[in-house]
Amino acid sequence: MYRLYIANRNYSSWSLRGWLCAKLSGAPFEEVDVQLGDGGYNASYLAFSPHGLVPCLHDGDVVVWESLAIAEYLAERHAGMWPADPKARAFARSMCAEMHAGFRDLRNDMTMCIRERLDVRPWSPGLARDIERVCALWGEARRRFGGGGDYLFGAFSIADAFFAPVAFRFQTYLVEPQGEAHAYWRRLLAHPFLRAWEQAALAETTIVEADEPRIVYRDKLRAAGRAT
């Protein structure tokens, strides 16, 4: 059986990606919960994770770190995790690679905090571009490849898993996509896997101040008269 190390569900976007890929595989796996450190790094993670971060997947004596590597490792062993059509699969892989390596303003300016609801506008130009790019990718994937179902490539896939934390961020920071991107966003949030993760996140009581929007944006909210 696989063993997947994950951190706080309320905050850990990368844990969510790894967990969703494990769920999508259909294979049984053991969840091992650990606590986030300052900025996500915790030296104690080195006991099970070569780079000291989560998620980290163990398959017997095989250790796989980084969410994209975990996704590919599982997809090699379990059918249906990527789109079957080669063109769709190439687009899906490109989307996931862009998500894995890019969108730095979105990551920095909109930390994942599932239980929160907060308006932090005006957004920085970089954040506005990242939001626009995400919505454009969602819309294009749906138009070109999504006709066979409700998700980016029809059936729920690794691509949806990789953009799931963005869906939660949009919910937290009151971002409203338009058109097909909006419809997809609402369907993604309603997926049973995301609902299960959200319920577990809302049950957590641990506070990680570095990821708390009302702490990160305290001065901006106060200046705008929106502090609570």
pLDDT single digits (tens) 122-140: 999 999 999 999 999 999 9
For domain 86-202, give the CATH number. Answer: 1.20.1050.10
**Confidence grade of residue 41 (pLDDT, cut at 50, 70, 90):** low
Peptide bond into 213 cis (omega under 30): no
* Selection from 52, 53, 71 nearest residue 2 by Cα: 71
pLDDT exceeds cutoff 70 at 228: no
CA distance 187 to 178: 14
Is it the case that residue 40 has pLDDT exceeding 60? no
pLDDT beyond 80 at 223: no
Confidence of residue 47 (pLDDT cuts 50, 70, 90): very high
Chain region(s) in the chain for CATH 3.40.30.10 = 2-77
Sheet holding 2-6, edge to edge: 29-33, 2-6, 56-59, 62-65
User: What is the reported pLDDT for 78?
Assistant: 98
pLDDT higher than threshold 80 for residue 39 = no
For residue 159, the model assigns a pLDDT of 98
Neighbouring residues of 150: CB distance < 8 A, sequence distance ≥ 6: 156, 184, 187
CB 115 within 8 A of CB 10: yes
107 pLDDT exceeds 60?
yes
> In which region does residue 52 sit, left (phi positive, over 0), alpha (psi from -120 to 50) or beta (all else)?
left
- Tell me the mean pLDDT in the region 158-184: 97
Hey, what CATH class is 2-77 in? Answer: alpha beta
Which of 46-50, 52-56, 114-118, 222-226 shows the lowest mean pLDDT across its residues? 222-226
Question: Which residues, other chains included, contact 1 with Cβ-Cβ below 8 Å and sequence gap of 6+?
Answer: 27, 28, 29, 30
